[in-house]
Amino acid sequence: MLTHIPFPALPVPPSWFPGHMLQFQKMLPALLNKTDVVLELRDSRLPLTSINRNFEGALQKWRRERRQGGAAESTSPSLDTGVSRPTNGPVSQRVVVFSKRDLVPEWGIKVCSGSICGLAVLTEERVQPFQRAMASKFPDQKVFFASWNRARDIRALSELLVNVAREHPYRSELNVLVVGMPNVGKSTLLNALRNIGIAGPTPKALRTSAQPGMTRVLSTRLKLSVDPLVYAYDSPGVMLPFLGKGMVGAERGVKLALIAGIKEGLYDTEALASYLLYRLNVLDPVSPAYLKLLPPDTPPLLDVQEFLALLARRLCMLKRGGIPDSARAAVWFIKWWREEGGLASASAPALPDYSGVPGLETYRRGWGFDLEWNVDAAEASRYDEATIQAKMEDCIDRFEEAGSLEEREGGSISSTQEKKRLKEQQKARQRARSKARLASRKSS
């Protein structure tokens, strides 16, 4: 078992922001004017890293303007009865959908077994630590977890949209816009919602791919429900123009590359394998998911080269002279994690069994790849849902504080983007001066 897990060295993050992403980002405010519900998709494994801050300004402005416009007309008395009734007021629902819920430990979403860490679950309200943590920090967002291969998840999300439409019966239709980072499953979700909401055989409406960037333009309207009428638009995945400076940007880029959110080939696979090994160790330091790939009785490993050498021999990936092919093993390891290893790592317990480890005072725990915290060995016996929620809230607070500090220090903008911005400002000032001089000549 591992009691100390060192953080790996990470490469400088690449830049990947194709023109179609910039084009959609500029279109977003106009699209929101005809949108009633925004489905913002994020990856459950990266619940914080997959937040796209480029959307925040436009989405908050949309909610604010809709609320101001609809405050006076949310209800109105009937002329003949005097009883309040729904009106055709504006709708502005924001639903954050976390995809791939089956790839994160269930104890962070909902405790189904009736207990956690040996403690009885008393109420339904206490068994959703991550949802409650998000509701505490982002009260204006409705959080929904789903896995596209679970029909009940898709049906529940479809019913959520239908219920929003039924709450506004005087609107002729409900328009939904799906947004998010690349490769979080937007097109796959819409195909599944369409299949659930439309009776009879429903052909696949949108192309899907395991590689990011398949959707490059806004889709035509897709009908998701007939009664009431619900339509949706698919949108291109939008990456951050700049992943950030220093270790913050480096880790953000590696995380997104591991979930295939960044174009293949921009990262060295051995660097990704090193970080993946670290994360799997944090999720379960006693019996990490990768041990099933190695010879029996192999202990958890910290060194990625040692791990890849063992894995290459196990898979018979050898170069001339019997030398392990670490590069091939790294590619295989990442593919294994994306296809089946994620399911194995999702079975990690809320607390590892560290009984009998002398002198252990603290150790690391994690949920997904974004939430990580220290556990005092002395508090392990009192480790319940409220404790997990508090730990998760601290992680969210640190993430928000780091994001605010990054923005204040200009860390969210690259030096190239800053030079371009300054150059555009200079040109704008020159145009303003030229117009002023021209106006002065005309007046004289």
Q: Which residue ranges make up each domain of the chain? A: 19-68+89-100+147-233, 246-408
pLDDT digit string, tens, across residues 219-241: 678 889 998 999 998 888 888 87
DSSP string, 196-215: HHS-S-----S---SSTT--
Q: State residue 112's pLDDT score.
A: 42
Question: DSSP label at 324?
Answer: B
Q: State residue 309's pLDDT score.
A: 96
Q: State residue 201's pLDDT score.
A: 60
Place of tokens 């179609």: 20
Q: State residue 421's pLDDT score.
A: 60
Give yes or no for residue 303 having a pLDDT over 90. yes
Give yes or no for residue 73 having a pLDDT over 50. no
Q: What residues have CB less than 8 Å from 368, skipping those under 6 apart?
A: 44, 45, 46, 47, 104, 108
**Mean pLDDT of the region 289-304:** 93
Per-residue pLDDT band for 246 (boundaries 50, 70, 90) equals: confident
Pairwise CA distance, residues 237 & 139, whole Å: 25
Give yes or no for residue 76 having a pLDDT over 50. no
Residue 307 C-beta-side C-alpha neighbours within 13 Å: 25
Per-residue pLDDT band for 203 (boundaries 50, 70, 90) equals: low
Q: State residue 1's pLDDT score.
A: 64
Window from 155-159, 203-207, 344-348 with minimum mean pLDDT: 203-207
- Candidates 271, 266, 272, 263; CA nearest to 182 is 263
Q: How many CB atoms lie within 10 A of CB 38?
A: 23
Q: What residues have CB less than 8 Å from 66, skipping those under 6 apart?
A: 90, 91, 92
Parallel, antiparallel, or unpaired for β 142-145 and 93-99? Answer: parallel
Pairwise CA distance, residues 71 & 51, whole Å: 29
Percent of the chain with pLDDT over 90: 30
Pairwise CA distance, residues 323 & 309, whole Å: 9
Per-residue pLDDT band for 378 (boundaries 50, 70, 90) equals: confident
Q: State residue 98's pLDDT score.
A: 93
**Mean pLDDT of the region 290-303:** 93
Q: What is the overall mean pLDDT for the chain?
A: 81
Q: State residue 392's pLDDT score.
A: 93
In b/e form, how buried is each residue of 358-373, taking b as 16+ CB within 10 angstroms? eeeeebbbbbbbbbbb
Pairwise CA distance, residues 319 & 314, whole Å: 13
Give yes or no for a contact between 86 and 75, defined as CB atoms under 8 angstroms apart: yes
Give yes or no for residue 416 having a pLDDT over 70. no
- Residue 186, sorted as left (phi over 0), alpha (psi -120 to 50) or beta, turns out to be alpha
Q: State residue 200's pLDDT score.
A: 65
Residue 156 vs residue 17, higher pLDDT: 156
Pairwise CA distance, residues 444 & 185, whole Å: 62
Residue 4 vs residue 333, higher pLDDT: 333
**Mean pLDDT of the region 160-177:** 90
**The residue type at 324:** P
Q: State residue 115's pLDDT score.
A: 38
Pairwise CA distance, residues 193 & 79, whole Å: 39
Q: How many CB atoms lie within 10 A of CB 269?
A: 22
Q: State residue 126's pLDDT score.
A: 47
Q: Which residues pair with 75 in a beta bridge?
A: 86
Per-residue pLDDT band for 310 (boundaries 50, 70, 90) equals: very high
pLDDT digit string, tens, across residues 37-57: 999 999 999 999 998 888 888
Q: Which two tokens stand for residue 341?
A: 């290893």
Residue 294 vs residue 376, higher pLDDT: 294
In 184-328 the beta strands, taken as DSSP E runs, fall at 222-225, 230-233
Per-residue pLDDT band for 257 (boundaries 50, 70, 90) equals: very high
Axis crossing angle, helix 269-283 with helix 304-314, rounded to the nearest 10? 100
Give yes or no for residue 414 having a pLDDT over 60. no
In b/e form, how buried is each residue of 191-226, taking b as 16+ CB within 10 angstroms? bbbbbbbeeeeeeebbebeeebbbbeebbeebebbe
Largest CA distance in the chain: 92
Give yes or no for residue 127 having a pLDDT over 80. no
Q: If one looks up domain 19-68+89-100+147-233 in CATH, what number appears?
A: 3.40.50
**Mean pLDDT of the region 349-363:** 72
Window from 298-307, 388-397, 434-443 with minimum mean pLDDT: 434-443
**Mean pLDDT of the region 404-426:** 67
Determine the distance from the C-alpha atom of residue 388 to the mean position of all C-alpha atoms in its chain, rounded to a whole number.
20
Pairwise CA distance, residues 364 & 61, whole Å: 39
Percent of the chain with pLDDT over 70: 82
Pairwise CA distance, residues 134 & 180, whole Å: 18
End-to-end alpha carbon distance in the chain: 85
**Mean pLDDT of the region 137-146:** 88
Pairwise CA distance, residues 194 & 286, whole Å: 43
Q: State residue 133's pLDDT score.
A: 93
Parallel, antiparallel, or unpaired for β 230-233 and 222-225? Answer: antiparallel
Q: How many CB atoms lie within 10 A of CB 315?
A: 16
Parallel, antiparallel, or unpaired for β 37-43 and 93-99? Answer: parallel
pLDDT digit string, tens, across residues 88-106: 667 888 999 999 888 888 8
